[in-house]
Amino acid sequence: MSEFSCRRVEKPWGYELLWAHTTRYVGKVLHINKGESLSLQYHEIKDETIHVLTGAIKFIVGEKEDSLEEIILRPGSSYHITTGLIHQMQALEDCDIMEVSTPELEDVVRLKDNYGRV
């Protein structure tokens, strides 16, 4: 089973364009508005790779919540997010991020969230 279409999903931090959802992977473009951020989160099953298309993000990442590091990612930068890795994206300017992941869309464990979704 595979689905190739473009579906826009509004989010409190911007929106995502879901362009592929198959039994093996999901492809999305995340548009994050300047000053907004996704949850500080990790995944129990999902494995994903992000690639910055436009803009810049502060990428917060680490194995444990008390030892997170900050990395600035700009266009052309990629990062592979393995299962269990704590991470967060904060937009320093409007940005677009391509994300390709395993197909588990609901596998988000939120640790902190600016929009009350924890």
Q: Quick check: is 118 in a domain?
A: no
What's the token pair of residue 72? 């600035």
Q: Quick check: is 87 in a domain?
A: yes
CA distance 5 to 26: 11
CA distance 117 to 35: 18
Residue-level pLDDT at 2: 52
Whether 114 shows a pLDDT value over 70: the answer reads: yes
Q: Quick check: is 74 in a domain?
A: yes
Write the CATH number for 11: 2.60.120.10
Q: Quick check: is 61 in a domain?
A: yes
What range does the domain containing 62 cover? Answer: 2-112
What are the pLDDT digits (tens) for 72-112?
A: 999 999 999 999 999 999 999 999 999 999 998 889 999 99
- What is the per-residue DSSP string for the chain? -EE---EEEEETTEEEEEEEEESS-EEEEEEE-TT-BPPEEE-SS--EEEEEEES-EEEEEESSGGG-EEEEE-TT-EEEE-TT-EEEEEESSSEEEEEEE-S-TT--EEEE-TTS--
Q: Quick check: is 33 in a domain?
A: yes
Q: What is the pTM of this model?
A: 0.91
Q: Quick check: is 46 in a domain?
A: yes
Whether 1 shows a pLDDT value over 50: the answer reads: no
Q: pLDDT band at residue 4, thresholds of 50, 70 and 90? A: low
* Domain count along the chain: 1
End-to-end CA gap in the chain: 32
What's the token pair of residue 21? 């959802």
Q: Quick check: is 117 in a domain?
A: no
What are the pLDDT digits (tens) for 45-66?
A: 999 999 999 999 999 999 999 9
